[in-house]
Amino acid sequence: MRTRLASAGFVAALALLTSRADTAGAKQPAPPPRSVSKLGDLKKYDDVITKDFTTSPGVFAVHRHEDKLYFEIPQDKQGRLLLWRAEVAKGPGGGMGGSWGGADLGHTVLKFERRGNKMYLWKVGFSKRSDGKAVQAAIDASATDAIVAVFNVECEGKDRAAVVNVSDTFILGLTDLPITRAAGVSGASVDSSRSYLSEVKAFPSNIEARATITFRASGGGSPFGAPGLGGGARSVTALVHHSLVLLPEAPMQGRLFDPRVGYFTEEFADYAHPKNWAVSREYITRFRLEKKNPNDAVSEVVKPITFYLSKEIPEKWRSYMKQGVEDWAPAFEKAGFKNAIVCRDVPTRAEDPNFDPEDARHSVIRWVAEPVQNAMGPHVHDPRSGEVISAHIIFWHDIVKTCQTWYFVQCSAVDPKARKFPLPDETTGAMIRYVCAHEVGHTIGLRHNHRASQAYSVSQLRDPKFCAEHGSVASIMSYGRCNYVAQPEDKVDPKHLLPKLAPYDYFAIEWGYKPIPSAKTPDEERKTLDEWAAKQLTNPFLRFGGEDGPSSVDPTVLTENIGSDPVQVTALGLKNLDRVAGHLLAATTEKGEDYSLLEEVYGDMLQARLGWFGAVAKQVGGVVESRTLGGRGGEAFSRVSKEKQKEAVKFLLDHAFTTPTKLLAPGLVNQFKFSGTGSDVSNQQRLLLRSLLSPVRLARLTDAELLAPEKAYTAAELVADIQDGVFSELKADAPKIDPLRRQLQRAYLDTLKAEFAPPAAAATPSIPGLSTGSAGPRPASELRAVARQSLAKLGEQLEAAEGKAQDPLTVAHIADLRSEIVALLAADKKK
């Protein structure tokens, strides 16, 4: 007989604990009460835990027989803090399911508390903190903690250990997991008849459980985008993994966050701050590293950070992944820790019969057999201090394809060995090593640093000696990828075109991990940490930016781009891209096979090209954020100079808004397209144009004009420059406009025409790494005032060119545009 009382409590508990929003500290409504039968005397232990049960000792004993599961919680574990974490161990293949496996479902801190013959499960929050003095009573009264479940104590074991029935907790307790909501299917629920507890394991400091859960959705929807299994309701089955980990009795000393160094954090409100009001503070997340010899500048560690390679990782990539982990060892040594991070194979049963990769005490790198081109490196940490408890890095199988495509598009122009798919194992392995090192960086606390990819100059990126020492970006935590700037004549060794641990990475690890022996509290560390962080004022290689600030308008914060001058690096990147186009067909095709790989890589080339142009466009109206703090540096924000903005616009007119003949070579695109050959390029051109003329960009130009009118690049100047460049053919003696340019000119007119339409909700365009606004009612902008004057001038130019044009399609195009402008201005005049 299953105990519904226990499962009802866990429905509420898991709904709270797996929520991605951190609501710890907010006042939580209590779960609806359930009827509880009155208890008489406790049952005899042997009548509850019969000889049929299998018992596993651990943090507390786990008893299981078929579908019955009991926890035996000793008195010394009651009140101790336990970190609960849930993740999808295995999801349905294909569609969204391909990326579902390995998904983190959230975590929270719990504790068991016994009162009489009931065991209460508390969700413990740490979002409000004090010094334990008078104000602590006010914090306690604000309901930071909440009871999320209650269990009957069935019997007692040795030393009054409480035995509770948790038979349904890992099955019916999953009903409200956020993954069902993320699937966009209302009414998704658990089908208990097709769900069961797969296994439960107890370890000295944790309990691991896996449940096979079948989700169903009524109506036409299908959970998680997976195909239905027949009948009126569609359903999917997943394996969900839960960890219940005992947190250290004494938390590690936290280290306070600094916005100049990019760490993941645990945020809380400090009610005992010297300012005498509540202050938001954050501890960075990091592993606990302790020196064996605290007085030595560099010492062996008490317990190294250890990653295990799971058995299913393909043999040919294992050594590269091991290198990716241990690439961080020199950075930790610089911070004072020798041999601080190591990577090992999962031990065999003979080597360690007690080792289990599912033990939450271990950090494991896994390989998921799904055609997903991605990897991720999440970690779980103690919210009291930020201490990382464990990490599970996931590589999906087709990360191999991603690595090869990145390298081919960006480096095959200078690396002859990379001009045929599949690329050599040595090249692919080096890319996997880079990806692994990047994901390990996340697990040890580091966030993405998208400013680091812009740190190096063009001359440095073309210097073989510099590239050998520093790689392609100033941090392996950036999204800069490979060095596409180096030209064949630069003779940069292909081994040095990839990212590697670079100056920022060493700086960030030293800042986050190096002990400060004289400091006994987090606040006592602040003076030293400030001095360390201030080094980036004079060393641009150490600067951080991205993900947590106004990165959408900062042209020095970019993804999929490298180099400090986007105009120069894009010009060089385009030269290499043309070279790649020359060997693309041969690289991607085999005798007797289709052209699907050709089409896919071609699309990746176009996407890379658009991202580079987006970086150039970000100069226009760009606002640079300098992470200065009080007394450290000058102004926090500065505008891109007028000269650089005009240079960016001219570059885009000369390169982005012209027809890329090499990429549109018939011998190439005719292999996989029979119509709409230029539509991809045309769509990108229209997207880029609308981005340049977007209301949010023009608003920034207006702000700059307000602050310093004599230095500003105005909206009127921007529109005039774009119009002159987009319609440059009109100045020719016999204008002839090709199809792509005709579409671009039409897009320009449509963009200006939209300013005369009634306000309406419209989505603004976006380019990878370049935000241009959000959907919503379109406000009146600077563009409308400029548009009237610009269209009147354009109408006159079109009228003059119409008489000179000889090409019939050009004549028709010019006449059509002119007619629209005349009608538009006449209608506007009547308003």
More confident residue, 293 or 178: 293
Average pLDDT, the chain: 85
Specify the pLDDT at position 278: 82
Specify the pLDDT at position 610: 96
Which 8-state DSSP code applies to residue 418? G
Q: Tokens standing for 342?
A: 């190591």
Please name the residues in contact with 141: beta carbons below 8 A apart, sequence gap of 6 or more. Answer: none
**Which of 440, 509, 523, 449 lies closest to 255 in space, CA to CA?**
523
Q: Tokens standing for 604?
A: 């990746």
Q: Tokens standing for 32?
A: 């609806």
pLDDT tens digits, one per residue of 560-613: 999 999 999 999 999 999 999 999 999 999 999 999 999 999 999 999 999 999
Residue pair 121/9 in contact (Cβ under 8 Å)? The answer is yes
Phi and psi at residue 477, to the nearest 5°: -90, 5
Q: Could you count the other beta carbons within 10 Å of the beta carbon of residue 220? A: 9
pLDDT at 14 over 50: no
Q: Tokens standing for 189?
A: 């629920």
Percentage of the chain lying above the pLDDT 70 cut: 84
More confident residue, 771 or 680: 680
The number of C-alpha atoms within 13 Å of 54 and in the hemisphere containing its C-beta is: 9
pLDDT at 99 over 60: no
Strand partners, 659: none
Specify the pLDDT at position 41: 79
pLDDT at 95 over 80: no
Specify the pLDDT at position 259: 93
Looking at mean pLDDT, say which of 194-198, 517-521, 636-640 comes out highest: 517-521
pLDDT tens digits, one per residue of 329-340: 999 999 999 999
Q: How confident is the model at residue 104 (pLDDT cuts 50, 70, 90)?
A: low
Strand partners, 656: none
More confident residue, 112 or 13: 112
Taking the C-alpha atoms of residue 417 and residue 825, their distance in angstroms, rounded to an integer, is 59
Specify the pLDDT at position 781: 63
Q: How confident is the model at residue 655 (pLDDT cuts 50, 70, 90)?
A: very high
Mean pLDDT of 420-433: 98
- Residue-by-residue DSSP string for 649-690: HHHIIIIISS--TTTT-HHHHTTT-SS-TTHHHHHHHHHHHH
Residue burial 776-794, b: 16+ Cβ < 10 Å; e: rest: eebeebbbbebbbebbeeb
Taking the C-alpha atoms of residue 37 and residue 57, their distance in angstroms, rounded to an integer, is 30
Specify the pLDDT at position 415: 98
What is the number of residues in the chain? 831
Please calculate the CA angle 763-620-628 and round it to the nearest 5 degrees: 105
Q: Tokens standing for 481?
A: 């990828």
Q: Could you count the other beta carbons within 10 Å of the beta carbon of residue 559? A: 19
pLDDT tens digits, one per residue of 809-820: 999 999 999 999
pLDDT at 762 over 50: no
Which 8-state DSSP code applies to residue 190? E
Q: How confident is the model at residue 11 (pLDDT cuts 50, 70, 90)?
A: very low
Specify the pLDDT at position 235: 77
Residue with the two structure tokens 């004009």? 705
Percentage of the chain lying above the pLDDT 90 cut: 64
Q: How confident is the model at residue 33 (pLDDT cuts 50, 70, 90)?
A: very low
pLDDT at 19 over 70: no
pLDDT tens digits, one per residue of 144-198: 688 888 899 999 999 999 999 988 877 765 333 343 433 334 456 778 888 888 9
Mean pLDDT of 12-37: 35
- Which of 186-195, 354-363, 550-559, 600-609 is least confident? 186-195
Q: Tokens standing for 637?
A: 């924000």
Phi and psi at residue 670, to the nearest 5°: -70, -10
**Which of 548, 547, 555, 607 lies closest to 577 in space, CA to CA?**
607
- Which of 22-26, 203-207, 216-220, 600-604 is least confident? 22-26
In terms of pTM, does the model score above 0.75? yes
pLDDT at 276 over 70: yes
Residue with the two structure tokens 């400060």? 516
More confident residue, 357 or 623: 623
Residue pair 172/192 in contact (Cβ under 8 Å)? The answer is yes
Specify the pLDDT at position 775: 43
Specify the pLDDT at position 777: 47
Mean pLDDT of 610-617: 96
pLDDT at 738 over 80: yes
Kindly tell me the number of DSSP H helices and DSSP E strands found in the chain: 23, 27
**Which of 251, 286, 281 lies closest to 129 in space, CA to CA?**
281
Taking the C-alpha atoms of residue 685 and residue 746, their distance in angstroms, rounded to an integer, is 11
pLDDT tens digits, one per residue of 782-794: 788 889 899 999 9
Taking the C-alpha atoms of residue 820 and residue 806, their distance in angstroms, rounded to an integer, is 21
Q: How confident is the model at residue 219 (pLDDT cuts 50, 70, 90)?
A: low
Residue pair 476/437 in contact (Cβ under 8 Å)? The answer is yes
Residue burial 530-547, b: 16+ Cβ < 10 Å; e: rest: eebbbebbeebbbbbbbe
**Which of 670, 724, 698 lies closest to 784 in space, CA to CA?**
698
Q: How confident is the model at residue 720 (pLDDT cuts 50, 70, 90)?
A: very high
pLDDT tens digits, one per residue of 680-698: 999 999 999 999 999 899 9
Helix axes 679-692, 596-617, angle to 10 degrees: 20
Please name the residues in contact with 369: beta carbons below 8 A apart, sequence gap of 6 or more. Answer: 312, 397
Taking the C-alpha atoms of residue 252 and residue 728, their distance in angstroms, rounded to an integer, is 65
Element (H, E) at 755: none
